[in-house]
Structure 1
Amino acid sequence: MRVHFHGAAGEVTGSLHEVEAAGGRLLLDCGMIQGSPEAERRNSEPFPFEPAAIDALVISHAHIDHIGRVPLLVKRGFAGPIYAQQATADLMPIMLLDAASISEGDAERFNRHRRAGEPEHQPLYTRDDVHAAMARVQPLPYDTRTTIQPGVEIAFREAGHILGSASVEIWADGRKLVFSGDLGPKGTPILRDPANIDRADLVLMESTYGDRLHRDRAETIRELGDILDAAWKEGGNVLIPAFAVGRSQELLYWFARHWDEWGLSRWRIFLDSPMAAKVVGVYDRHAELFDEDARRVWQDKPNPFRLPNLHFTQARDESMAINRIERGAIVIAGSGMANAGRILHHFRHRLDRRQTHVVFVGYQAEGTLGRRLVDGAKWVRIHGFDVRVSAQRHTVGGLSAHTDQRGLMAWYGAIAGGDGVAHPPLALVHGEDKAREALAGEIGEHFAVQATLARPGMTLEV
């Protein structure tokens, strides 16, 4: 068995790993590259393999940096099955149709204003391409070992990152490969904790927060409550860029749990994301995947997805109307890294006001507007306008959907190696070099394992 690294190898987005096994070839993820405009232009480049030669695609979870190029893969010749956990299979069309709509809209706007002689811009893929890709998806449950091609078996294990997220075990050629996918912290609301895996001959592990420890979750929740209280007293609004899957639902969970304590009945709460509203429906259909704490909250508190002052804004006009509210609005809107979506309209109208509070609850990749704001930018450009940043900014790291250095080491440390070794060989993916190098150093010291920092074009033998 051989692993070829193509994407999310030295960066956080664009997950794409190729596995040669049992005479065939499969892919782990096929994600979109996110960040700067230059980085995102790489999405349209040819794949570093022939798509028609790939026998199967295995998806770890439904975030766009793990699935965003799946329709493009099919469009360019991939004709095999796509395997995903059942909830992931339900989330994929929501995420991908939204991505296609954005790509089609961007192409239409460019072509409407292109200069004479400029070539016509084509979308990365269309909604028809998404439907063609989804026809190839075969849902699988957790904890079921399944033959996906002769001599190759896989199983999905709970990863605790978002609904349906999975670590993937692959058995082939007498060896076992484990791909962590994205791992969530223990105790994440709504979701069950990541499952331990017993053994492996090679582990591919994410390293997004390999260089840091998250704040205590209880302390983080107190901070969130304090931010809301300060914003109310100052007469402002709260803007929260949030991923449609995961962070948006967790925020609503905490609002329900602290409904009385935080005085949330005085606010108007907007989930300004048609996609997030659809995702809520998927959560409702997969309540069997919730942890025990979530089930108790659903029984004893206001339903997080049906709070009495929660508004799901679908139409563009409804979203624009929010900007006429001068105070008392909490707006959760995509995208999570503020590089697209409705949050940009709210930023354009509100960033120049001191009483506005902007709360970042997820990872902000290099090159994104979110990262520039977190790093303290005084001016930003939005929709062609220069906007002064006077708003108060808060980074609430304890709500991350990714586990931290301690959690990564604990998950890896529970895996025994094959052939009598204490721990298996390890390749670090899905992380910037600073994070990977720090994590590799800690793993070397604690487990006497020299972790490989995967690079595009690198191959490892299992």
Structure 2
Amino acid sequence: MKVSLFGAAGAVTGSCHLVEACGKRILLDCGMIQGSRIEEAKNALPFDFDVKRIDAVVLSHAHIDHCGRLPVLMQYGFHGPIYTQRATADLLPVMLEDAASLAEMDAERRNRFHKDGHSHHKPLFTRHDVGQVVRQLERLDYRRPIELFPGITVTLQDAGHILGSASVRVQAVEDGVTRTLVFSGDLGPRNTPILNDPDPYDAADLVLLESTYGGRLHRDRAATLEEIGQIFETAWKGGGNILIPAFAVGRSQELLYWFAKHFDDWGLGKWRIFMDSPMASKVIEVYDRHEELFDADAKAMFHGRPHPFRLPNLKYTTDVEDSKAINEHKGGCIIIAGSGMCNGGRIRHHLRHNLGSARNHVLFVGYQSAGTLGRLLVDGIDSIKLFGEEIRIKAHRHTIGGLSAHTDQSGLLDWFGAYDRHPRVALVHGEDDARKALALALKTRFDVDAQIPAYGDTLTI
């Protein structure tokens, strides 16, 4: 068995790994690269492998950096099955249709301002391409092995990252010998609201382990929630708005869970709360259909009051005009909007209207990739240009690390430590500083020499 890394090796986005075994070629994830314009332009480049020879795709979860290039894979000639967990299969069209819509609007905008007036920019993919992806989906359950091809079996287990997220085990029998690869996917922290804890495997020959936060420990959850409550109190007294860039899948639903749990503690009844994301509204419908995947606490809470997704002062805005109207409110609003890294979507319009006032606050509750607007804001940039307007930033910025959907170094070590014998491990889905820090921690705790592969490297089992 061989696995070649064609994405998320030295970076957090663009997950894509090619497995070769028993004469078959299986792609683990096919994600979009996110970051600067230069980085994102790579999404349109040809793949560094023969797409027509791919026999199947196994998808870990529905975040766009893991699934976003599936329509492009179709354009280059892939026509095989795409295997994924049932909830991920329901989330996937929501995510990809939104990405297609954004790509189409971006291409139209760029063509409109092209000097000679001719069309030169095409969207990365269209909603028609998304339809082809959906037609090729094969739905799997957790912990039920399925033989994809003779000699090759795949099993999914809950990764605890977002609804339907999975770690993937690929077992191949060749020459009477079974070889096992485990791809962690993205692992969530223990005790994440709504979701069950990550479900580790007990044995492998090689583990591809994510390392997004391999170099840090998250703040204590209780301290994080206390901090959020204090920010809300300060913002209310100052008469400002609170902006929360959030991914439509996972983070938005978790925020609403905490809002319901601390509705009175945080004085949320006096705020106007906006979920300004058409996609998030559709995602919540998927969550409603998959309550069987919730943990026990969430099942109890969702049958109580207030219901996290139906808070009395929560308004879902899908219409563009309703979204614009939010910015008429100069204070007393909590605005949750995508994209989570501020590189697109409605959050950019809200930033334009709110960053220039010291009354306002921006809460960053998720990972901000290098080169994104979110990362620039977190790193303290003084001014930015949005929609042709230079804005000097006066709003308060808060990085809330304790709500990450990725587990931290301690959680990664605990997940890896569940193996009966410590297998060989290669670190992916992390920037190099994080991978080096996690490699050192693995060596210290388990005496394991973790590999830090580069893009295009091939590992043999």
How far apart are 1:127 and its partner, in Å? 0.4
Report what 1:200 is aligned to: 204
CA distance in 2, matches of 1:444, 1:32: 31
How far apart are 1:446 and its partner, in Å? 1.3
Q: Aligned with 1:168: secondary structure?
A: strand
Report what 1:124 is aligned to: 124
1:360 to 333, 357, 364: 364
CA distance in 2, matches of 1:370, 1:87: 28
Superposition map of 1:141-152 within 5 A: 141-152=141-152
Q: Aligned with 2:6: secondary structure?
A: strand
Q: Aligned with 1:248: secondary structure?
A: helix
Runs of 5+ in structure 2 lacking a partner?
none
CA distance in 2, matches of 1:110, 1:394: 33
Report what 1:318 is aligned to: 322
TM-score by length of 2: 0.98
CA distance in 2, matches of 1:272, 1:171: 43
Indicate whether 1:434 and 2:433 are aligned.
yes
Q: Is the 8 A contact 2:61 2:84 kept in 1?
A: yes
C-alpha RMSD of matched pairs (Å): 0.9
Q: Aligned with 1:19: secondary structure?
A: strand
How far apart are 1:313 and its partner, in Å? 0.1
CA offsets, 1:221-272, max 9 Å, x none?
A: 1111111111111100100000000110000000100111111110110000
CA distance in 1, matches of 2:208, 2:161: 16
TM-score by length of 1: 0.98
Report what 1:419 is aligned to: none
Report what 2:80 is aligned to: 80
Q: Aligned with 1:73: secondary structure?
A: helix
Q: Is the 8 A contact 1:257 1:301 kept in 2?
A: no
CA offsets, 1:16-71, max 9 Å, x none?
A: 00000111100000000000000000000100111110000000000000000001
How far apart are 1:296 and its partner, in Å? 2.1
CA distance in 2, matches of 1:78, 1:149: 17
Superposition map of 1:328-343 within 5 A: 328-343=332-347
CA distance in 1, matches of 2:235, 2:117: 50
Report what 2:387 is aligned to: 383
CA distance in 1, matches of 2:150, 2:390: 57
Q: Aligned with 2:153: secondary structure?
A: strand
Q: Aligned with 1:199: secondary structure?
A: coil
Q: Aligned with 1:139: secondary structure?
A: strand
CA distance in 1, matches of 2:180, 2:452: 20
CA distance in 2, matches of 1:119, 1:7: 31
Q: Is the 8 A contact 1:350 1:391 kept in 2?
A: yes
Query: Percent identity over the alignment?
Result: 59
Report what 1:59 is aligned to: 59
Indicate whether 1:136 and 2:140 are aligned.
no
Instruction: Report the AA paired with residue 442 of structure 2.
Output: I
Superposition map of 1:230-249 within 5 A: 230-249=234-253
Superposition map of 1:176-325 within 5 A: 176-325=180-329
Q: Is the 8 A contact 2:189 2:197 kept in 1?
A: yes
Superposition map of 1:70-109 within 5 A: 70-109=70-109
Q: Is the 8 A contact 2:12 2:431 kept in 1?
A: yes
Q: Is the 8 A contact 1:241 1:359 kept in 2?
A: yes
Answer with 378-387 or 360-369: which moved more: 378-387
Q: Aligned with 2:302: secondary structure?
A: helix
Q: Aligned with 1:83: secondary structure?
A: strand
How far apart are 1:298 and its partner, in Å? 1.7
How far apart are 1:118 and its partner, in Å? 7.2
Q: Is the 8 A contact 1:357 1:394 kept in 2?
A: yes
CA offsets, 1:424-458, max 9 Å, x none?
A: 10000000000000000110111111111121110
Q: Is the 8 A contact 1:356 1:391 kept in 2?
A: yes
How far apart are 1:300 and its partner, in Å? 3.2
Report what 2:451 is aligned to: 452
CA distance in 2, matches of 1:384, 1:152: 53
How far apart are 1:327 and its partner, in Å? 1.1
CA offsets, 1:261-286, max 9 Å, x none?
A: 11111011000000001000000000
CA distance in 2, matches of 1:386, 1:315: 27
Give the paired residue count. Answer: 457
The 1:251–1:153 alpha-carbon spacing in structure 2 relative to 1, beyond 3 Å, is same
How far apart are 1:386 and its partner, in Å? 1.2
CA distance in 2, matches of 1:5, 1:61: 18
CA distance in 1, matches of 2:136, 2:150: 18
Q: Aligned with 1:386: secondary structure?
A: strand
Q: Aligned with 1:452: secondary structure?
A: coil
Q: Aligned with 1:20: secondary structure?
A: strand
Q: Aligned with 2:19: secondary structure?
A: strand
Report what 1:160 is aligned to: 160
Report what 2:408 is aligned to: 404
Please identify runs of 4+ aligned residues in structure 1 that moved more than 6 A.
none
Report what 1:44 is aligned to: 44
Instruction: Report the AA paired with residue 99 of structure 1.
Output: A
Instruction: Report the AA paired with residue 397 of structure 1.
Output: G
How far apart are 1:5 and its partner, in Å? 0.5
How far apart are 1:117 and its partner, in Å? 8.8
1:345 to 330, 349, 364: 349
